[in-house]
Amino acid sequence: MKMTSVAHRIPASKQAFPRINGLLLTVSFLLTLGLLMMTSASVEIASSRYGDPFFHLKRQSVFAVLGCIAMLTTLHLPMRFWRSISAYLLLLSFALLTLVLIPGVGRVVNGSARWIDLGFFNLQPSELAKVFIVIYVAAYLERHADEVRGAFVGFVKPLLVVAGAVVLLHFEPDHGAMVILLATVFCLIFLAGAKISRFFPLLLLCVGGVTYIAVMKPYVLERFTSYWNPWAAENVFNGGYQLTQALIAFGRGEWFGVGLGNSIQKLYFLPEAHNDFVLAIIGEELGLLGVGFVIFLFVCLVYTGFSIGRQALSQGELFSAYVAFGVSLLFSGQALINIGVNIGLLPTKGLTLPFLSYGGASLIVCFYMAAILLRIQYENDNSSSLEQQGSGEW
């Protein structure tokens, strides 16, 4: 049967209800829950520091609006645009990562120079660099797919580029971003068809690097030792303090929580309650049920991202597929590390929970990554529609 119009095949009653976009719905849930719980976690500290209990909510709302603007702008840019400027994005990444190390330019907090003060908010170059480097690697894997699969030099070239970024992240230091970037690029190269045997020497090198950092930097070694036994007398008020307070929060929450706004741990017991440890406050106020819902939302987000990537791959759009896989891996890596730190599965590391933690740069970049996935999904759907029309059959 020849197809003149898809709409002619759909009853009028069904045409009145547009298809709900699962990815956009998941992002909306994460943003709404994030604004709610971040506000609950920050009310007391904002009231004492700034005289306004909703100080962080107002700022995060402004960042959310800027994120929406970034999302709408990104949605109007085709993926071929990002492919064409991928080399410039890589150069911009290195420029930002270098700029933050310059004294007087980079803002130092707790011994780490990770931010550039722009006046109205602090830009964290590593947030942008992770996405831009993934876009560059995706473009490289598309151009040199055969070389990556067959030749060792093709396998090493993108890793040398990433190694430069890793060195700059080490000097900030931002080891969390370093681990996420390395893991994401390794996975992308593996998905591009590289032999798994080639990764073993690199994994040994990474283990050796982590060991060297732990030995040479006392605070890193302290985090590892306090992680193994946070309740020890020498750790409970030192390196293990944040973890023990987070575990107390989860313990108080039990199954259904103590109720929204009723957290005790956010009352100056748990540092960074509205930032890195917002999940602990969710566990205390909403219980295991609330934490389970957050994990479910991230599973939906990552699963949808990989589904979009698989669809692009099936249509021969390698660049879009690798970008979708990379963005999904960035979301999953950051969420897994933050959740692992909060519940004591991983050593304490300062990484935000996407869409939920307080932070302008992180939230805007999360909107940008979600917009890239939505754009790939849009192009996938358009490509499928064109193929159906071209076949002339329904």
Tokens of 227: 């992680």
pLDDT at 210 over 80: no
Tell me whether residue 228 is in a domain: yes
**Other beta carbons less than 10 A from residue 109's beta carbon:** 11
Give pLDDT, residue 12.
41
Task: Give the chain's mean pLDDT.
Answer: 85
Q: Distance between CA 77 and CA 375 in Å, rounded? A: 8
User: Is residue 39 over pLDDT 50?
Assistant: yes
Please give the pLDDT value at position 347: 80
Distance CA 360, CA 351 (A): 13
What global pTM score does this model have? 0.89
In-domain check, residue 136 = yes
Q: Which two tokens stand for residue 116?
A: 């550039």
pLDDT reading at 207 higher than 60: yes
In a domain, 337, yes or no: yes
Q: Which domain holds residue 121?
A: 19-389
18, 87, 130, 145, 361 from 323: Cα distances, Å = 27, 15, 12, 14, 20
Q: How far is CA 311 from the centre of its chain?
A: 22
Lowest mean pLDDT among 2-16, 103-117, 243-257, 364-378: 2-16
The number of domains in the chain is 1
Assigned domain for 14 exists: no
**Distance between CA atoms of residues 111 and 109, nearest Å:** 5
How far apart, in whole angstroms, are the C-alpha atoms of residue 248 and residue 223? Answer: 19
Please say whether the beta carbons of 240 and 232 come within 8 A. yes
Decide if pLDDT at 16 tops 80.
no
Helix (H) and strand (E) counts for the chain?
Answer: 15, 3
Q: Report how far apart, in Å, the C-alpha atoms of 275 and of each of 102, 116, 256, 342 are.
A: 26, 18, 22, 11
Is the pLDDT score of 165 beyond 80?
A: yes
d(CA 267, CA 246): 12
Alpha carbon 143 to its chain centroid, in Å, reads 26
- 216, part of any domain: yes
What is the C-alpha to C-alpha distance for residues 338 and 389, in angstroms, rounded to an integer? 45
What is the rounded CA–CA span in Å between residue 56 and residue 33? 15
pLDDT classification of 388: cutoffs 50, 70, 90: low
Whole-angstrom distance, CA of residue 362 vs CA of residue 253: 27
Residue 381 within any structural domain of the chain? yes
Q: Is residue 369 part of a domain?
A: yes
Element (H, E) at 205: helix 199-216
DSSP characters over 150-185: H-HHHHHHHHHHHHHHHHHHHHTT-HHHHHHHHHHH
> Is 1 within a domain?
no
CA 380/CA 312 separation, integer angstroms: 6
Torsion angle, alpha carbons of 145, 177, 359, 328, to 10: 30
Assess whether pLDDT exceeds 90 at residue 242: no
**pLDDT for residue 201:** 81
Strand order in 122-123's β-sheet?
Answer: 106-109, 112-117, 122-123
